[in-house]
Amino acid sequence: MASGQSSPDPYPMSGGDGPNSYFQNSVHQKSIVEATKEMINEAIRDKLALNSPSNAFNIADFGCSVGPNTFIAVQNIIEAVELKYHGNHQNHQSLEFQVFFNDHTNNDFNTLFKNLHHNHPRKFFAAGVPGTFHGRLFPKSSLHFGHSSFALQWLSKTPSEVLDTKSPAWNKGSIHCTGFHTEVAEAYSSQFKNDMETFLNARAQELVNGGLLVIIMPALQDGVLLSQSSIGVTFDLLGSCLQNMAQSGIISQEKVEAFNLPIYISPAKGLEALLQRNGFFSVEKIDRITSNMNTNTLTAQFLTSQLRAVTEELIKGHFGSEIVDAVFELFNIKLSENWFSIMDTKNQKFMDLFIILSRNFSD
């Protein structure tokens, strides 16, 4: 592993491919990745510079988890590159693809590669690259295309100030950045900005001139606080479950106060400004993604399973595995009681963004 990387405590998505796994419970993320197929085609057709002297095309997916969404993204990228490449190089020999799947060191790579080889034709060479993407992972100018979906809202660490009882930013009574407390919001925002800058600077070293970086991530509507959105409400409900369990003596109040989700959903304009400030990339496009997912068929149990898949390892690591089932049973009850408010479209107030960055040419 290259030097200079941060070493946060990892918090992967739930592994395996069982009923509580991320593999089985990332339907929203899958629908968004599928909805970007034509956006990927347009980005590669119009913005990608294919100036590599070799016949190898290197792709990296940062925050791949266990699948299947990473496989869909990779397939979309490869098909678009093949279409562009064969259109520009009719007499050239076939392009070969190398795909690097990156995630935390304790990500379930076994499940990832088991499902890759069982369910997908081998159109590319595959390798796993364990390690934090908040730092260098590849040699300079070795990648042609970078991709990351639903990963960059996860911080490299929870801001230390929000867990410090003596700090003005102590996040008493909440497990996430609600947005209601200025000092807490500033601590989370600062950590997010540092993480994004570290991520972009590392990718700038790894991508060739003219290479592309596609980012898919959630963002808040401008002027909306996280707890005013449906995502924030679900986090509030999860926090109330932990508080109830502390009041019942199942877990300690101190444990609850020491737990904050390392997640930050940025306002859309703030995210765009952050991307524009980075001198290594040009912002080619920022679009809102429209999913074809039918939300009318969703149930409280379905969304409970989706949340469990992305937070179970965090809860298990902090409170112990013995409380996990009880936490999400209680969460399902609370979610059912607040279902119509959460599912009301006027309360969504967040969006999924498709971002295209091109690596500026440099000497």
CATH of the domain at 350: 3.40.50.150
Q: How far is it, in rounded angstroms, from Cα 171 to Cα 162?
A: 5
pLDDT by position in tens, the chain (length 363): 343 333 345 678 888 888 888 888 888 999 999 999 999 999 999 999 866 557 899 999 999 999 899 999 999 999 999 988 776 654 445 789 999 999 999 999 999 999 888 766 678 999 999 999 999 999 999 999 999 999 999 999 999 999 999 999 999 999 999 989 999 999 999 999 999 999 999 999 999 999 999 999 999 998 999 988 889 999 999 999 999 999 999 999 999 999 999 999 999 999 999 999 999 999 999 999 988 777 777 899 999 999 999 999 999 999 999 999 999 999 999 999 988 877 776 667 889 999 999 999 875
Question: Could you list the residue range(s) of the whole structural domain that residue 191 is in?
Answer: 27-359
Question: Would 15 be classed as within a structural domain?
Answer: no
Question: Would 136 be classed as within a structural domain?
Answer: yes
Question: Would 140 be classed as within a structural domain?
Answer: yes
- Residue 145: CA count within 13 A, CB half-sphere: 29
Alpha-carbon separation of residue 357 from 210, 214, 327 (angstroms): 10, 6, 40
pTM: 0.93
Q: What is the pLDDT of residues 246-277, one digit of tens each?
A: 999 999 999 999 999 999 999 999 999 999 99
Question: Would 154 be classed as within a structural domain?
Answer: yes
Residue 345, both tokens: 């479209």
Structural domain count, the chain: 1
Question: Would 48 be classed as within a structural domain?
Answer: yes
User: What does the angle CA 188 – CA 193 – CA 198 come to, to the nearest 5 degrees?
Assistant: 125
